[in-house]
Amino acid sequence: MAVTLSSVADVCARAREASRTLAQTDTATKNAALRAIAGALRSHAPEILRANELDLIAGREAHIGAALLDRLALDELRIESIACAVEAIVSLGDPVGETIDGHRLPNGMDVRKVRVPLGVIAVVYEARPNVTIDAASLCLKSGNAIVLRGSSSAANSNAVLCSIAAEAATGAGLPDGSIGLVAGGGRQELVELATQDDTIDLLIPRGGEGLKAALKDVASVPVIYAASGNCHIYVDASADLEQALAIVMNAKTQRPGVCNAAETLLVHESLASSFLPRALAELSAAGVELRVDERVAGVAGEAGIPVKAATEEAWDAEYLAMTLAVATVESTDQAIAHVARHGSGHSEAILTKDTDSARSFQLGVDAACVYLNASTRFTDGGEFGMGAEIGNSTQKLHARGPIGLRELCTFKYLIEGAGHVRL
């Protein structure tokens, strides 16, 4: 079936129509559709890889950089991983119809608060073809129709993936229009999507601060921002240094182009001679560009490690690349203050054996995910046992952290009486 129509309004209108049926679709049918999508991904892998190669060629010609190319690239292993993520969602409980709360009023009426789909969810995302399937699968399982709008850098990959998923879903019994794709219209298309008040119930932008700013200027539909991750690792005075080094390296270098990678390393000043030289050396050897404060620069200079002086902007940056800002702090309170001033509310970590420091950091840091002695790279719906995710919300209302099945639902009150009238 075709998934790209002549206008944004048409795609959204068809999604609205489909959403009415999806809200009443039983779990077995939704799961069958997801299994069909997973199977179709595997059987169409050569077609997906051909489309992805076109995007990679264009990306190299446009010099989009190694990190973005990594986010864009698909191979057989990644396609299998995407298919497995879909099957993981099948195994999750269906949130639709769950009773959140319930009670009987003194007058004998029964009140239940029940989870229901939001309706139509639009997802705007950048160079990550896997989001096409992750987002569609989560929306279908939670009873929502979805309208996808990917970036031009992944246009070929997204078109093929969306077509495969839509055809598999309708073939398994879901309504036509459950998965829609809009693409190719530039900023005006984004504006149109963000103002579909009659058809879009929620818009989730998954991208950098530029995308967030562009939508804030125009959006009239409700928005949850799966926004940037300026994540910090704070190595406290009492940290296990071997453990700390492994966590820092993982958080920065395992996959630097993702929002839960560390962008700033804070080190207690008492570790300037024992931990910093080794950490800087290993980071530099791994290819990380270091942007540092004056004290760290002194340590690096003595050890012959190349660094750059950090500007004020360095502490606010989400690099999504092999770049790390490094500073020393005098205390846990100073680390908390630095995170409060520069963090994005995504994921923050303290590495310590001191209970008081751990407690202060956990209570004092305002972020969706706060880690103790663990890498920020775990902020992920799959890692949290939620299946795939649409993104990580840094907001505080409705959804915070990984946006999974329950975050794609709202609720309604069901009230049952026996001829009750209000006096």
Nearest to 375 by CA among 277, 279, 265, 272: 265
> Domain of 245: which CATH number?
3.40.309.10
Regarding whether 235 and 91 lie in a shared domain, the answer is: no
Q: Work out the burial of residue 71: count CB atoms within 10 Å of its CB; fewer than 13 is exposed, 13-18 middle, 19 or more buried.
A: buried
pLDDT digits (tens, 9 = 90+) for 324-341: 999 999 999 999 999 999
One-letter identity of residue 55: D
Q: Would residue 391 count as lying in a domain?
A: no
Q: How confident is the model at residue 6 (pLDDT cuts 50, 70, 90)?
A: low
DSSP string, 135-192: HHHHHHHTT-EEEEE--GGGHHHHHHHHHHHHHHHHHTTPPTTSEEE--S-HHHHHHH
CA dist 144 to 86, 95, 138, 220, 413, Å? 16, 12, 8, 20, 19
- CA pair distance 296, 277, nearest whole angstrom: 9
Residues 407 and 351 in one domain: no
Q: What is the pLDDT of residue 3?
A: 44
pLDDT at 185 over 90: no
> Is position 282 within any domain?
yes
Report the candidate in 111, 191, 186 with the shortest Cα–Cα distance to residue 155. Answer: 186
Q: Are residue 237 and residue 198 in the same domain, yes or no?
A: no
**385 inside domain:** no
Assign residue 164 the CATH number of its domain: 3.40.605.10
Whether residue 173 sits in one domain with residue 290: no
Place of tokens 């690096």: 300
pLDDT tens string 106-124: 999 999 999 999 999 999 9
Number of domains in the chain: 2
73 close to 154: Cβ distance less than 8 angstroms: no
321 vs 25: CA distance, rounded Å:
43
Range of the domain at 20: 8-224+396-416
| Cα–Cα distance measured from residue 147 to residue 132, given in angstroms and rounded to the nearest whole number | 10
